[in-house]
Structure formats: structure tokens, C-alpha cells
Amino acid sequence: MFRLLTLTLVGLLLPTLIFAQDRPNIVLILMDNLGFGELGSYGGGELRGGATERLDALAEEGMRLLNLNVEAQCTPSRAALMTGRYAIRSGNASVPVTTGNYGLTQWEYTMAEMLSDAGYATGMFGKWHLGHTEGRFPNQQGFDEWFGIPNSTDESLWPGQPQFDAVAEEGVSPYSVPEYIMEGFRDEDPSNVRVYDEEQRRSIDGELTERSIDFMRRQVEADNPFFLFIPYTLPHYPVLPSREFEGASGKGTWGDVLLQTDAYVGDLLDTVDELGIRDDTIFIFTSDNGSEFLPGHQGWSGPWRGSYFTGLEGSLRVPFIIRWPGKVPAGQTSNEIVHMMDLYATFAEIAGAEVPTDRVIDSIDQTAFLTGQSEKSARDGLMVYVGKRIFGVKWRNWKMMFNEVELGSDPLVTFDFPRFYNLYDDPKEMYPLNPSTPGNFWVRWPMGEIIAEHTASLKAEPPIPEGTPDPYVPE
């Protein structure tokens, strides 16, 4: 009996022990506002003017998710990814509209801190958007090194504007200064490298790629398992390719941007192969938000309606490709619900890291699902937020929505009666189920349970208020 129990326990623990011993490298590419339909493997590519051959091949080599969900804005998505918690909990439910003390408090335990504590070298090259004040830069939140921008790419348009330059020269406000590309090393104050202007906006993703390649080379030479986070700046407004790729597609800006992105990802994949770490590296390509909506820069959400800054599927669903040879089944496609923040608990399981137990963690371990041990996701629903407001809830192929915004710049519409959608029958959420047909609304019960559980957790552990300074300790 004891031997049988021992063998059973060993069998249950074996996947965890194998993952912990192997400690695969992790390369996580996070695009900025890349819509669901942009890549060839998601219906775009040539249709959008630029073939994405390397990314499409990556999808064939791994798993492609059709129902990977994010938050509705840049800062909330990144906060959820880094903490494994809905952004409302960390005080980052919205993109900041002021220049104050926003971002993650030091009390939050980031993905980078978690993997660093598990023995990983951690590097980030790209956009942060989770704090730009002392103690809140990436290299002060668990990354050994960081090169990139602290805030949003649209700030690259500020330099060169006559009135902005005049105000900056007058010193009217300490924040009347341009955004800088910055560089920092663990626990140090980062330094300004150069002004982030329109020309730098064009070239930065190429430099992020070069620095990421250098980071991988150095870690392999030192025999360190590594977590490489590459939050590229494209295709966030302004959508501008580098000079090298400008006109490369012959079909317009979006074609150029897709060719450029595909080439840069190809360079990273080639480096992984060259270093001999292909089988030992989890390689992920995804996006923080749905598509851009500003005229002249608009992206494409594929079969879905809406853009980021909405609660529609065009905001919530983004491309997600994961490759881990020998672990993640190749050529797989799934419409199972997963949330971006699930990577937090999943990476912890794979790396043998510890998930905090002193706070609410919304992340769910998806190791069994992603490695083909289960056809089902460990998650069947999620809350839909836009800013601090609950817009609704998703459960399996259903949505129950209380509010709607058509595009990010449109006014809020609040429904007198919740609207229910079957996403199999109505992917664009244009035909809410008839409320006079009660048989349609049994789904309010499972979705109501998700909402009740979530709101109860907010009462049990109140969210951190926006702008909370450090040091922060929950009451």
C-alpha cells in the first residue's frame, strides 16, 4: 500500500519535477496593439499587404490559440501579465491620464521577480508602461537589465511640436520634457539614453531585437536559464516602419510593418537555433491589446468587432503562438478560453517558482492544457473590464454584457437589461439574444457566479488605489 501511494505521488509530481529540473528558457514577445487578424496564420499576412512567413511557420511548429484574452488597455494588460492579477487589484485598471505616481507598487510580486528568485536571468527590452518614477522601472521590479521606453509610443510625437518644445524650454512643468529611451540595471536608477522622437520610434524595434539577441548569447555562454521579455513598440500609434522596411511591401504601411515584425522575430528564432537551445526554450508571440482604432493607423480584428478600449471581442482576443519542442504539441489550434495573466502561474509551475499565497492571484496554471495533457483549458470564464468599470463576463462561448463602446473613442452605452451573446452564432456581437425568450438565459447563472465570486474577492481584499506611493503594505 505504501509503495503504491509512493508511486502515485511520484507520478503526480513527475511533470513538475521534470519542468523544475529542465528550467527551460522563456522568450516572451509582446506586440503593442496587434489585432487578431494581422498575421497570416490568423487570416491576415498577404491579405494585409505583408506575408508573415516566419510567424506562420512558428504557428505550425507549436500551438495557436484562438481565444487568448487580454485587458482592454495597455497598462491593465501589462499589469495583469506581470502580477497574475486583474489590473483593478494593483491600481492599474486604466492607462494613466496624469503624469503622477502610477504603476506597480513594490509590494507586487512581478513575473520577473518570481522567475529571478527561481534562478533565471531576466532581461527586458521594450515598452514598460507600468511606472516611470523611482522604484517602478522594470530594472527595479525584477529585471536584471532593461532597455526601452517607460511609457507610451505616442509620446514620440511630442518632440518637434513647436508649442511643446517652447513649454519644455520655459520649464513650466517638470513633466514638460520628452520621453526618453532609457537603460537600467538591477536595482539601479535607469539613465536616459536618447530622446524618443519620431525617428527613434521608427528604429527602436530593430534595436530591441539586437539587444535581445545579445542577451541570449550572454546567458547561454554563462549557462544561465533566462527569461527574455520583448515588448515591442509596434504597431501602436504612430504606425511607422523602420527606414529599412519603409516601402518594402510595396503595399502600404501595414504591409511594411508586418514584414518588419516577421523579419525581427525570424532573427530571434534563428539565434535560438544557432545557440542550440531550440528544444530548451519556450517561445511565445502575442499582443497586449486588440487593434488600433485611430483613422489612418487602424488595425484589423479579423472576424471580431471592436478595437482596444472596448469590451468587444476585437479588444479582448489577440494572437497567441507558443512553441516548446517536445512539450507543446506541434500544429495544434484551440478555441479554449485562456487569459494572458495565466502565464504567471504557468511559468511558475514550469520553472519551479513560487506563486504568492498572501494575496488574491487570478492566474490559473495552464501547463496541462498547453502541453497537450488536457484538451480543456483550466479556465472557463473571465471578467471583462474597461477601465475600472465591469463591462461584463465571458463564460465558454457566451458573453453577458452590461455596457458597450463601439470604438475606443466612442461614448459609453449602458444597457437597461444585460445583453447576452452566443459567440459561435454571433462572433461580431451584433444580435443579442431576445430577452422575451427565457430559455436563452440559463447562461446567466454560471456567468453570475463568476461575477459574484470576483466582486466578493474585491471586498475581501480591496484594490490598491491608483497612485498609491511606496512603501505600500496592505491593511
| CATH code of the domain containing 279 | 3.40.720.10
Determine the pLDDT at residue 189: 95
Q: What is the DSSP string of 216-284?
A: HHHHHHTT--EEEEEE--TTSSS----TTTTTSSSS-HHHHHHHHHHHHHHHHHHHHHHTT-GGGEEEE
Model confidence at 96, pLDDT cuts 50, 70, 90, reads confident
Q: What is the DSSP string of 73-114?
A: SHHHHHHHHHHSS-HHHHT-SS--SSSSS-S--TTS--HHHH
Q: Write the CATH number for 398.
A: 3.30.1120.10
Check whether 38 has a pLDDT greater than 60. Answer: yes
Q: What value does the mean pLDDT of the chain take?
A: 93
Beta-carbon contacts of residue 163 (< 8 Å; ≥ 6 apart): none
When computed from its CA atoms, the radius of gyration of the chain, rounded to whole angstroms, is 22
Determine the pLDDT at residue 302: 96
Query: Do 48 and 129 sit in the same domain of this protein?
Result: yes
Determine the pLDDT at residue 170: 75
15 in any annotated domain: no
Model confidence at 16, pLDDT cuts 50, 70, 90, reads very low
Rounded to an integer, the average pLDDT of 422-433 is 95
Q: Which domain holds residue 348?
A: 24-377
Q: Which residues pair with 123 in a beta bridge?
A: 145, 228
CA dist 455 and 450 (Å) reads 9
86 in any annotated domain: yes
4 in any annotated domain: no
> What's the pLDDT tens digit per position in 301-335?
999 999 999 999 999 999 999 999 999 999 999 99
Determine the pLDDT at residue 173: 61
CA dist 305 and 407 (Å) reads 9
Number of domains comprising the chain: 2
Query: Do 250 and 361 sit in the same domain of this protein?
Result: yes
Q: Which one-letter DSSP state was computed for residue 46? A: G
Query: Is the CB of residue 432 less than 8 Å from the CB of residue 420?
Result: yes
Rounded to an integer, the average pLDDT of 390-396 is 97
Beta-carbon contacts of residue 148 (< 8 Å; ≥ 6 apart): 124, 125, 126, 127, 128, 138, 181, 182, 204, 208, 231
Query: Is the CB of residue 259 less than 8 Å from the CB of residue 247?
Result: no
Q: What is the DSSP string of 434-453?
A: PTT-GGGGGGHHHHHHHHHH
> What's the pLDDT tens digit per position in 247-269?
999 999 999 999 999 999 999 99
Determine the pLDDT at residue 8: 41
Q: Among candidates 399, 381, 368, 397, which has minimal Cα distance to 454?
A: 381
Model confidence at 100, pLDDT cuts 50, 70, 90, reads confident
Enter the pTM of the model: 0.94
Beta-carbon contacts of residue 56 (< 8 Å; ≥ 6 apart): 39, 40, 41, 45
Query: Do 170 and 211 sit in the same domain of this protein?
Result: yes
> What's the pLDDT tens digit per position in 104-144?
999 999 999 999 999 999 999 999 999 999 999 999 999 99
- All three cell numbers of 464, joined, read 490598491
Residue after which a domain boundary falls, among 345, 377, 409: 377
Determine the pLDDT at residue 318: 98
Q: Among candidates 375, 394, 373, which has minimal Cα distance to 383?
A: 394
CA dist 199 and 203 (Å) reads 7
402 in any annotated domain: yes
Rounded to an integer, the average pLDDT of 349-374 is 98
Rounded to an integer, the average pLDDT of 154-174 is 80
CA dist 31 and 287 (Å) reads 4
CA dist 300 and 438 (Å) reads 35
Query: Do 149 and 180 sit in the same domain of this protein?
Result: yes
* Helix (H) / strand (E) containing 381: strand 381-386
Query: Do 86 and 158 sit in the same domain of this protein?
Result: yes
Query: Do 373 and 416 sit in the same domain of this protein?
Result: no
Neighbours of 133 (CB within 10 A): 15
373 in any annotated domain: yes
Check whether 372 has a pLDDT greater than 90. Answer: yes
Query: Is the CB of residue 367 less than 8 Å from the CB of residue 377?
Result: no
Residue after which a domain boundary falls, among 354, 377, 400: 377
> What's the pLDDT tens digit per position in 376-390?
999 999 999 999 999
Query: Do 143 and 233 sit in the same domain of this protein?
Result: yes
350 in any annotated domain: yes
Query: Is the CB of residue 432 less than 8 Å from the CB of residue 421?
Result: yes
Determine the pLDDT at residue 47: 96
Rounded to an integer, the average pLDDT of 98-105 is 85
Query: 284: burial class by Cβ within 10 Å (0-12, 13-18, 19+)?
Result: buried
Determine the pLDDT at residue 99: 63
Rounded to an integer, the average pLDDT of 414-424 is 94
Model confidence at 181, pLDDT cuts 50, 70, 90, reads very high
Q: Which residues pair with 54 in a beta bridge?
A: none
Residue after which a domain boundary falls, among 377, 397, 420: 377
Model confidence at 17, pLDDT cuts 50, 70, 90, reads very low
Query: Do 347 and 397 sit in the same domain of this protein?
Result: no
335 in any annotated domain: yes
Beta-carbon contacts of residue 411 (< 8 Å; ≥ 6 apart): 405
Indicate which residues carry an active-site annotation: 74, 129
Query: Do 227 and 341 sit in the same domain of this protein?
Result: yes
Determine the pLDDT at residue 202: 98
CA dist 330 and 319 (Å) reads 16
Determine the pLDDT at residue 135: 96
Query: Do 372 and 444 sit in the same domain of this protein?
Result: no
Determine the pLDDT at residue 438: 76
Query: Do 209 and 284 sit in the same domain of this protein?
Result: yes
3-class SS of residue 4:
helix
10 in any annotated domain: no
Check whether 95 has a pLDDT greater than 70. Answer: yes
CA dist 453 and 455 (Å) reads 6
Who wins on pLDDT, 438 or 277? 277
Check whether 463 has a pLDDT greater than 50. Answer: yes
Determine the pLDDT at residue 175: 58
Tally the C-alpha atoms within 13 A of residue 230's C-alpha that lie toward its C-beta: 29
Model confidence at 166, pLDDT cuts 50, 70, 90, reads confident
Query: Do 306 and 394 sit in the same domain of this protein?
Result: no
